[in-house]
Structure 1
């Protein structure tokens, strides 16, 4: 498996993960921007949009910007 740095956001039907850019070990900016690490297959050419991936979240700050979906 390969760990990919991702940013997360909450949408109406769940969480969405997006790569933070270049993933090289010398790219500290992609680590600073990330909310977590997504696990993908090492031989994967990419993850199709809408696919489910496991993410180890280490920065939950993105939830502070989330709007509750209350339907009164």
Structure 2
């Protein structure tokens, strides 16, 4: 006799444990944009908020410094 959970899996298969969020595109840095992500539009480019500093440094020549 198998464990009840094993029997359920044998009959119904494994449940989808992780639902996949809807994909909205790719940002200027090549990262996937998902529904609900914070994005910035700058000069016609879509950038994830989490990639903004990297974008400004790489494409705009910005330098981030600490005030002294």
TM tier, smaller:
under 0.3
If the length of structure 1 is used for normalisation, what is the TM-score? 0.26
Greater RCO between the two (CA within 8 Å, min separation 6)?
1
More helix by share: 2
Query: Which TM-score applies when normalising by structure 2?
Result: 0.26
